[in-house]
Amino acid sequence: MEELKRAVAREALKFIEDDMIVGLGTGSTTAYFIEYLGKLIMEGELEDVYGVPTSYQARLLALESGVPVVGLDEVDAIDIAVDGADEVDPNLNLIKGRGAALTMEKIIEYRAGTFLVLVDESKLVERLGQRMPVPIEVIPAAWRAIAEEIEVFNATAELRMASRKDGPVVTDNGNFILDARFHRIDDPLDLEIELNNIPGVVENGIFADIADIVLVGTKEGVKRMER
């Protein structure tokens, strides 16, 4: 599995050119991409390439790998954003947010001229929600009320608890994450909009109609899906 992740990360480098502003996603597959990108920059094979990180994790890794970083408020445009996904359906709709960085990921990837997604074949599903819950970033004081509101969608939501600290996961923005399991998601775009209309919801992990290209690592090689 790790070699599949490495393969798609290497393939993604073909989309990067000199003088680009690159959105840097969060997660294990994107981490390989950031490391490889830094190597090319350090070796002089790419010039004037800057990264806009989607999380503290991506920022720290970029700095360690030799990728110059800039803030979102320092750039006029983002040429390409590169990130992973937890699920990808046949229409290239995504579920993201297992790394709890979904809000900044969506902001940066929405602004990018091209959004390139890196996954292995295990992330492909017939419909969203088939395996993964939908992460929802919420204002801490409202998490219980929002969890009850989500029941209207024939879904259940659980507060995500941290594994190496006491208490809930806290995002880079200081918020909580609810993981919502839906019986069936027939219209990802409609559900994405409806969830964001709940007061106290900051953002949710449905990324509908936003991915341009998906690179899929398979045992037969890297396959390309395009909108």
- Contact criterion met (CB below 8 Å) for 4 and 217: yes
Please tell me whether residue 151 adopts helix, strand or coil conformation: helix
Residue 6 CA, distance from chain mean position: 17
Distance in angstroms between the alpha carbons of the first and the last residue of the chain: 25
Which helix H or strand E contains 137, and what residues bound it?
strand 134-138
Please tell me whether residue 45 adopts helix, strand or coil conformation: coil
Instruction: Clarify whether 105 is annotated catalytic.
Output: yes
Read off the tokens for 13. 């480098």
Which candidate in 87, 105, 192, 203 is catalytic? Answer: 105
State how far the Cα of 82 lies from the Cα of 214, in Å rounded to an integer: 10
DSSP string, 32-85: HHHHHHHHHHHTTSS-S-EEEESSHHHHHHHHHHT--B--GGG-S-EEEEEE--
Alpha helices for 86-151 (secondary structure H):
102-111, 143-150
Q: At what angle do helices 2-12 and 28-42 cross, to 10 degrees?
A: 50
Catalytic residues: 105
